[in-house]
Amino acid sequence: MLRILDLKNMKENHEKITMVTAYDYPSAKQAEQAGIDMILVGDSLGMVVLGYESTVEVKIEDMIHHGKAVKRGAPNTFIAVDMPFMSYHISLEESLRNAKKIFQETNAQSLKVEGASGDILIFIERLTEAGIPVIAHLGLTPQSVNVLGGFKVQGKDKTTAKKLLDDAKKVADHGAAALVLECVPTELAKMVTNSINIPTIGIGAGVNCDGQVLVYHDILKYGVDRLPKFVKPYTDFNDSGTEALEAYISDVKQENFPSDDHSFFMKNKDALPERE
C-alpha cells in the first residue's frame, strides 16, 4: 500500500499518481485489481450511487457505510474518504469529533476536505498533528456550489488565480498531504503544482498535475447520462449493461434461459416422488 511519503516521492520523480473514486465493494475491488494508486470515497457518492440531487445531502453515516465497503474491497490500497457537507464547519471540536469517527470507523488512510478558509486551515493542521493525513480540495469545490453559482472553471482571472495559488500554498503549509484541484485552467494548475511540495491531483485541471482523479462511474459511463468536458469515458456500460439485461429478459421470455447447461438434474430418475 502507498504511503504519504511515497506520494511525495512520486511527485519528485515525476511519476504520475492515479486515483479513482469507489463507493462499494466491487468497484473498490476492481480498482485495486487494476492497480490504482489511490481510491477516493468521494461524496459524489450522493449523486452517483444514491441518487441525491447534490453532495449537500450526503451524511456522515453515508460516508462511513460506503467507506467500510470500499475498505473491504480494497484492503491494500490507499483510501481517502470525503468529509461530507457541513461535517467540518460548525466548530473545531465537532469537526475533530466527526473526523475521528469517519477515520476510525472506515479505517481509511486519509480524509479529504474542501476549501482553505482560516477555520479549515486550522482543522487541517489539527488533524495532521493528531495523525490523520488530510487531502485538501481547491478550485471547484462542489459542497459550495450554491455559493459559487454553478459548476464552473475556477481561477480564470488574475484575482481568483492569485487567490487559488495562495490557498494552495496555505493548505500545504498547514500540513495537507496532497491537493485535489478541480476545474482549474491548465496553466494555473501547472503553476500551483510547481509552487508546492505536496502532490496535486487534478480533475479538469490539465495534464501537468502530479496525478489525476476521475469518478468511477464516469470512466465506465455507468448510470451517468451527461459527462463533463474533463471526463474521458473508457467504455460504455450504460449501453453494454442495458444490452445484457435486455438479452436476459428476452431469453427468459422465450425459454432460452436457463438451458440445460445452467440447470441441475437428478442422477436417478427413480428418486422422483410418485405423483399424487
User: Annotated binding site: which residue ranges?
Assistant: 43-44, 82, 112, 114
42 binds Na ion (CB under 5 A): yes
Member of 42, 133, 185, 202 binding ligand KIV (CB under 6 A):
42
Q: What is the largest CA-CA distance in the chain?
A: 88
**Which one of 1-9, 36-44, 155-163, 233-241 is the stretch in contact with ligand KIV (CB under 6 A)?**
36-44
Which of 182, 187, 255, 274 is labelled catalytic? 182
Q: Which is nearer to Na ion, 146 or 235 (CB)?
A: 146
Which residues from 173-212 bind ligand KIV, rule CB under 6 A?
180, 182, 203
Q: Is 82 in the site for Na ion (CB under 5 A)?
A: yes
Q: Estimate the share of the chain in helix, then strand, then coil, as percent rounded to the nearest 5.
A: 45, 15, 40
The Cα–Cα gap between 192 and 83 comes to 24
At 71 the three-state DSSP class reads helix
Regarding 215 and contact with ligand KIV (CB under 6 A), the answer is: yes
β-bridge partners, 136: 113, 179
Residue 83: DSSP 8-state: P
Q: Does 62 bind Na ion (CB under 5 A)?
A: no
**Binding residue ranges for Mg(2+):** 43, 82, 114
Instruction: Annotate each residue in 114-143 with x if it binds Na ion (CB under 5 A) or - if it does not, as one string.
Output: ------------------------------
Interface with ligand KIV (CB under 6 A), residue total: 11
Smallest separation, CB 221 to ligand KIV (Å): 16
Find the DSSP H helices in the chain. 4-12, 25-34, 45-48, 60-73, 92-106, 118-130, 145-148, 158-173, 186-195, 216-220, 237-253
Query: Given candidates 7, 10, 11, 21, which one binds ligand KIV under the rule CB under 6 A?
Result: 21
By CB under 6 A, tell whether 213 contacts ligand KIV.
Answer: yes
Side-chain half-sphere CA neighbours of 168 within 13 A: 31
Q: Does residue 182 carry a catalytic annotation? A: yes
Which residue, 10, 34, 72, 47, is CA-closest to 228?
Answer: 47
Q: Which residues are designated catalytic?
A: 182
